[in-house]
Structure 1
Amino acid sequence: MSAPVTGPVPTLTATPRVLSIAGTDPTGGAGIQADLKSIAANGGYGMAVVTALVAQNTRGVRSVHTPPTGFLREQLDAVSDDVETDAVKIGMLGAPGIIAEVSGWLRRVRPPIVVLDPVMVATSGDRLLTPEAEQALRDLLPLAGLVTPNVPELAVLAGAGPARDWDEVVRQALEVSGRWGVRVLAKGGHLAGDEVSDALVDAGATDPVRRLDAPRVHTSSTHGTGCSLSSAVATWQVVTGDWFASIDRSKRWLTESLRHGEELNVGQGHGPVSHFAGLWERGGRDTSTGDEWWQRIDGLRRATDADPFLTGLADGTLAGKAFRYYLAQDAHYLEGYAGVLSRLGQLADDPVERAFWVAAATACVTTESNLHRTWLGASERPAPGPATHEYLGHLRQAVETGYGQGVAAVLPCYWMYADIGHRLAPRAAGNPYAEWIATYADPLFQYATQQARSITDRVAGAASPPLREEMWRAFERSAQLEREFFAAAL
């Protein structure tokens, strides 16, 4: 693949300096306004050159005013004459003259990172550019490091009809990548399904299609998602230098922002995403991987809630024999779990995390084991059952694979029990199992769960996409085994 037009790599500041070249949105959800929010939310300093003044809102575009190309040139030169720019994101251009002006500036200034979001098709499906402008935009592609079309825009670039399935999206992206020598972020948001696929497509690479999947966020707040994603990718690329890692981080941030968009209550049409939801919630820009995983096991959690073992615990109707069998298996489990936690303590580089895992291992052997001795007689100690063997085997394998896989694997035991304890304790008051349930509703256990979640989020946030996928698989398998562990008692 031919390289994009770039200049010398600048000496990076702590904050990426990212320029958006795009049109406006007075309601703030798309265009330059969304770009600036996205850049800031992902840790960059945003700058803006306006290509068009757009009268639009969440329900549609009313009119467009295009300033003279001479004024566009003055804006571009005003930035590049003064500020060393680390990355450029290009959005709405609109006309051949504007595209030519931006193209000339790129060739003169040679910014090191260029992300092109080809605004070509309206939400209604109407084409926004004349045939001449469409061709001029295609000619701009080799100057970009990455182009981020949605499904209809990709079809225009490929000279084909809109793709109807993921395989066709990938074929069109490979066609565009190969023809113009540009990486393509193929996006599947316009396709049906509960999971959304995106992929970094590079026809000239050894691995030409690198895919990322995420659960679809069912929301009406989708205004400006393309603008927001492309700006985030440009910002992260300054930091990572790896297009796939930048897309992965940006996609996770956008998923979180989509999930909170409706809380903004902006507009009567398709509202904007909540660009700063993570910042407002956590006071930092790393997304919560654990929250995403928790949402992905929603069906499994609901099935666990409906299990006769848990419903019997909640209403006090569970047979005592079944509960004692469960506790005996849990005693075996806690002995093994303590060993896994102790091993995490050995693997942890951070002294605070090391201390947390060592203390957690001790708690398994002392505090929680005392609870089992209170409930179980000395003779009530059946051998470990198949579910116990399988769960402990999974945890031991995960922790020996690596620290990331280990912390992800142990998290469901914390989180699912804390969630069950929190929700069942009020319903179980006065029944025979209230004391056991209260153990997991205790504020100290809830706090320990929060610490385990924070550690997992930190490790996942710093992990490569392949490692984070391994962590997710370890987390998911542990959640499944928790479900089977409960069910084994009956």
Structure 2
Amino acid sequence: MTRAIPRVLSIAGTDPTGGAGIQADLKSIAANGGYGMAVVTALVAQNTQGVRSVHTPPAAFLREQLEAVSDDVAIDAVKIGMLGDVATIEVVGEWLGRVRPRVVVLDPVMVATSGDRLLVPEAEQALRELLPSAGLITPNVPELAVLADEEPARDWDAVVAQALAVSRGWGVAVLAKGGHLDGDLVHDALVDAAADVPVRALVAPRVDTTATHGTGCSLSSAVATWQASEDDWFVSVDRSKQWLTESLRHGAALRVGEGHGPVSHFAGLWSRGGVRTDVTGEWWERIAEVRAGTDADPFLTGLAAGTLPRGAFTEYLAQDAEYLHGYAEVLSAASALAADAAERAFWSKGAAECLEEELRLHESWTGGGRVEVSPTCEAYVTHLRSSVEAGYAEGVAAVLPCYWMYADIGLRLAAAATDEHPYRDWLVTYGDPSFAEAAAHARAIVERVARDADPATRERMWQAFRTSAQHERAFFAAPLTP
């Protein structure tokens, strides 16, 4: 069924550089599949380096803007950002009480990424009293501390404790965000003191970038957009975080400003179209070090150059033949678990046809005899078997690196396959376009499964994928490892 296009209203201040405020909200809403509308609460003279001044239009004009939209358009979700002063907060609060939008996300804008205060002190209590009008609030660490009337948290446990206190005190769910804290991983959590599970965590790798201007605005707008159709705060937050991680990764490429640049809201759309994150592409980037180490391994560099000792090559092929027996069993198991007929056929073909041809090539080099399985090979096959035993999602994620990494390596090795190359037949097999096509098909299946999976299952898929990639790295290195 086609996802309905949510009509999402942003109530916020401006940013003339386009990275934060209403400009970022509109981009975020569009990037996540919604139709964005905007009511301006403040005109902000700012750039990527900081805020210079703020002009607040009369409260009466703000009221006219709000009424003009709601008198004409059915609003599916509202995102509230910078409010600035007491009069503005009161107008928005009165409008919310009268219109009662189904989805309200409040980003309590108090402190910009640059450190500038964006809310006058006397308005802080008025903002707290607005919290119950929202379904979810999305403060950063300094803003959460203001709402909790405490010092800023210095660790993740303190962040969660403050979020629980605010949730309990004001009857609102809180998206606790750990982006301001140190560490290679960014911890976030959906915190609702009234829920059966008060804290539901989400973890993502930290993106090493200074392009963080407007991340709070962008994330809250994305959550409001997804919530309008998903009606599940945890799912909406998870989808939004996937998108934001991707947008953060590409922000520096925009080259906007001399300070903290904006995220690249449409990076995914520009590269592929659609509004769902490229999950497997993210995984591929996260194993970049494993792939680089594999490419530089003496086994592969010697293989490409044709200088690899024949004994090392035949040892590799003998173990690969043993590995492929186990791999075929795992593909057959995945086929049996697949609910989709086309996917069953694909995995079955991989087990019965593609692997038979690969085994034939191995037999031509090794004579077809069975050998003692090495610990490296046994560990890899054991991992694959345990993954598919855990379920279809983990199983297909675990088998993907064998397809993908081999196809990626094969494209480069095939270029070295001259007529005189001692290992030409093997290089040509893995550089064959049909193998690359099979790898692309496998990736498409895993991408679909990962996108449809809940966060916990998707995390297990990632772990299975990463472990297989590490086994691939070790498998290539083994013949030359004492």
Tell me which interval the TM-score lies in, with the shorter structure as reference length.
Answer: over 0.9
2:299 counterpart residue number = 309
Match 1:409 to one of 387, 398, 420: 398
Aligned residue type for 1:403: Y
CA contact (8 A) 2:103 2:135 kept: yes
Is structure 2 residue 360 aligned with structure 1 residue 370?
yes
Residues 464 and 485 of structure 1: CA distance in aligned 2, closer, same or farther (over 3 Å): same
How far 1:343 moved relative to its partner? Answer: 2.8
CA distance in 2, matches of 1:297, 1:378: 34
Q: Distance in 1 between matches of 2:181 and 2:98?
A: 39
Whether 1:386 and 2:375 are equivalent positions in the alignment is yes
Tell whether 2:457 aligns with 1:457: no
Structure 2 residue 133 is matched with structure 1 residue 154:
no
Separation in structure 2 between the aligned mates of residue 244 and residue 19 of structure 1, nearest angstrom: 21
Root-mean-square deviation over aligned CA pairs: 2.0
- SS of corresponding position for 1:256: helix
How far apart, CA to CA, are the structure 2 residues paired with 1:259 and 1:438?
A: 35
> How many equivalent pairs are there?
478
What letter corresponds to residue 302 of structure 2 in structure 1?
Answer: G
On the 8 A contact 1:188/1:198 being kept in 2, the answer is yes
| Aligned residue number for residue 87 of structure 1 | 77
The alpha-carbon deviation at position 83 of structure 1 amounts to 1.9
State the partner residue of 1:227. 217
Q: What is the CA–CA distance in structure 2 between the aligned matches of 1:339 and 1:63, rounded to whole Å? A: 66
Shift of 1:57: 2.3
- Note the C-alpha offset of 1:34: 1.0
Paired with 2:432 and 2:234, the residues of 1 have a C-alpha distance of 42
Alignment pair present for 1:110 and 2:88: no
Any gaps of 5 or more consecutive residues in structure 2? none
Question: Would you say 1:74 and 2:67 are equivalent positions?
Answer: no
Check 1:126–1:24 CA distance in 2 against 1; reply closer, same or farther (3 A cut): closer
Give deviations 1:242-290, integer Å, cap 9, x for gaps: 1111111100100111111222232333222111111121121111111
TM superposition shift of 1:146 = 0.9
Q: Which runs of 5+ in 1 are unaligned?
A: 1-11
TM-score (norm. length: structure 1):
0.92
**Aligned-residue offset at 1:84:** 1.9
Q: What corresponds to 1:51 in structure 2?
A: 41
Give me the whole-angstrom Cα distance separating, in 2, the residues matched to 1:428 and 1:113: 59
Whether the 8 Å CA contact 2:43–2:56 is kept in 1: the answer is yes
C-alpha offsets along residues 426-467 of structure 1, whole Å, 9 cap, x if unaligned?
A: 467565334423332322222222221121111111111111
Residue 41 (structure 2) pairs with residue 61 (structure 1): no
- What is the SS of the residue equivalent to 1:409? helix
1:420 match: 409
What is the TM-score normalised by the length of structure 2?
0.94
Amino acid at match of 2:86: P
Answer yes or no: is 1:192 the counterpart of 2:177: no
Work out which of the residue numbers 225, 236, 240 in structure 2 matches 1:250: 240
Taking a change above 3 Å as real, the CA distance of residues 423 and 167 of structure 1, as seen in their structure-2 partners, is farther
Task: Tell me the CA shift for residue 132 of structure 1.
Answer: 1.5
Q: Which amino acid aligns with 1:414?
A: Y
* Worse overlay, 33-42 or 339-348: 339-348
Structure 2 SS opposite 1:19: strand
Match of 1:339 among 329, 345, 349: 329
Percent identity reads 69
Cα deviation, residue 126, structure 1: 3.5
Classify the secondary structure of the residue corresponding to 1:197.
strand
SS in 2 for 1:485: helix
Deviation, 1:408, is: 0.5
Q: Return 328-337 or 455-464, whichever deviates more.
A: 328-337
Task: Give the secondary-structure state (helix, strand or coil) at the position aligned to 1:366.
Answer: helix
Contact residue 313 and residue 428 of structure 1 kept, 8 A? no
